[in-house]
Amino acid sequence: MFNFEKLEVWQKSISFADLVYTVTRAFPADERFGLTNQMRRAAVSVSSNIAEGSSRLSRVDFARFIEIATGSVFEVVSQSFIGKNQGFLTTEQFQKLYAAAEEQSRMLSGLRKSLLPD
């Protein structure tokens, strides 16, 4: 087992990506290389950056990767608004994504704070 696999925030990020994949599956075919791809790439980036950051030798470097992961969560939120406005996401799907993003963001923030000196 790799060390990042033990992190609850990484485990949640995998679930977050699964959720994004699930809700974007019903997006129109002409969005396959547009919003669908953007949302999926951003969602996958969260767990990828946590994993890559965990390999860094310094806590400051790891914290930087957590910042990047947080940015990817924010991308999904912004893109979710567009998906909802375009009628690709139901209100329920949007709310579920938004709540998952809030939780992911809080967990990433906590991890980042734990990595940096006061």
Give the separation between CA 96 and CA 68, rounded to whole angstroms. 22
pLDDT at 118 over 80: no
- As given in the structure block, the two tokens for residue 118 are 């006061």
Give the separation between CA 45 and CA 73, rounded to whole angstroms. 9
- Report pLDDT for 7: 97
Confidence of residue 102 (pLDDT cuts 50, 70, 90): very high
pLDDT at 6 over 80: yes
Burial of 87 (0-12, 13-18, 19+ CB in 10 A): exposed
Mean of pLDDT values over 63-88: 98
In the predicted model, what is the mean pLDDT of the chain?
Answer: 97
Mean of pLDDT values over 52-79: 97
Other Cβ atoms within 10 Å of 36 Cβ, number: 23
Give the separation between CA 26 and CA 113, rounded to whole angstroms. 37
Q: Are the C-beta atoms of 13 and 51 separated by less than 8 Å?
A: no
pTM equals: 0.96
pLDDT at 80 over 80: yes
Which residue has tokens 């809080």? 106
Mean of pLDDT values over 97-102: 98
- Report pLDDT for 76: 98
